[in-house]
Structure formats: structure tokens, C-alpha cells
Amino acid sequence: MFKSLGWVLVLLLMGIAVFVISVMAWTLGLGWAAGLLGIVWGTFMLAEFRRWLPLRDLAWAAGAGYGVGVIRWLEVPLDETAVVLRWLVMAGYALCLVLFVWIVPALLGLMVQRLRPPAAPELPVEAPASREMLRRWGPKD
């Protein structure tokens, strides 16, 4: 629900904040990083389950920021290596980002979709009057 530039900026700031927090968590240890990932994906699943779209979008941006943090943690020094190896490492980085941005949220969304109860039915709406009904109605109807 990208309705304004302000919302896009909020999502961007969320991604940057989680990126910084994930870099700090990776330096503290694997447990902190796994805990942060659990919080991010747990928030995404809760928002998907409760159908809170703004929180789901924020959790998605946080997952993207965490993915960039993972790429930063996996950074390989490639100063004097072959060009092919550099391209392979960049492809691995892209695959990691695709995993955190598209694949995992889609799988979590499918899993939550199977668990949540069906949505409440919408209120019935009266069908518009046909031409025949409009012709039969008088001015006092």
C-alpha cells in the first residue's frame, strides 16, 4: 500500500534501521542474529495472520534490511581475484537478497494463509434496479 512518498521513506528508514541492528547483532554473535531474525519474521507472520497491512509492509522492509545485513556479514574480500569469481560472489549476494525479499516472505505468507481462519463475509449489496423496474416505478416510489 504505497500511497505516498512519506510511506516509502518510512519503509526505507525501517530497512536501514534493521540493517544497522542486524550488523550489530552479527558482531555480538549468532544467537543475537537468530533472535533478531525470529523477531522480524515473527512480526511478519503476526501481521499477515491479523491482516495488518502496514505492519506487514514494515516487517517486509525489516526483512529486506536484515538480508542486506547478511550480505554485509558474508562479505568476501575480492581485491585481486578473477573477474568470474567476483561475478559469482555478486550472484550469491543477489540470491541472498532475493531469498530475504521474495522467497521467504512468500513462503511465510502461504504458511500463515493456511493457518488463519477465513475472512468474514462482506455485507450483501442490493443489486441496482433494472430498466424494467425503473420503468414501472412511479414518481412516488
The confidence score (pLDDT) of residue 138 equals 63
Would residue 133 count as lying in a domain?
Answer: no
Global pTM?
Answer: 0.77
The confidence score (pLDDT) of residue 126 equals 85
Would residue 129 count as lying in a domain?
Answer: no
The confidence score (pLDDT) of residue 31 equals 95
Would residue 50 count as lying in a domain?
Answer: yes
CA angle 81, 82, 84 (to 5 degrees): 130
The confidence score (pLDDT) of residue 131 equals 82
Phi then psi for residue 29, to 5 deg, are 145, 170
The confidence score (pLDDT) of residue 2 equals 52
Exposure string for 46-85, b = 16+ CB within 10 A, e = fewer: ebbbeeeeeebbbbbbbbbbbbbbbbeeeeeeeeeeeeee
How far is it, in rounded angstroms, from Cα 112 to Cα 118?
11
Structural domains of the chain, count: 1
Would residue 123 count as lying in a domain?
Answer: no
Would residue 11 count as lying in a domain?
Answer: yes
Would residue 132 count as lying in a domain?
Answer: no
Would residue 24 count as lying in a domain?
Answer: yes
pLDDT tens for each residue of the chain, 141 residues long: 556 888 889 999 999 999 999 999 999 999 999 999 999 999 999 999 998 999 999 999 999 999 999 998 888 777 777 888 888 888 999 999 999 999 999 999 999 999 988 878 888 888 887 888 777 776 655
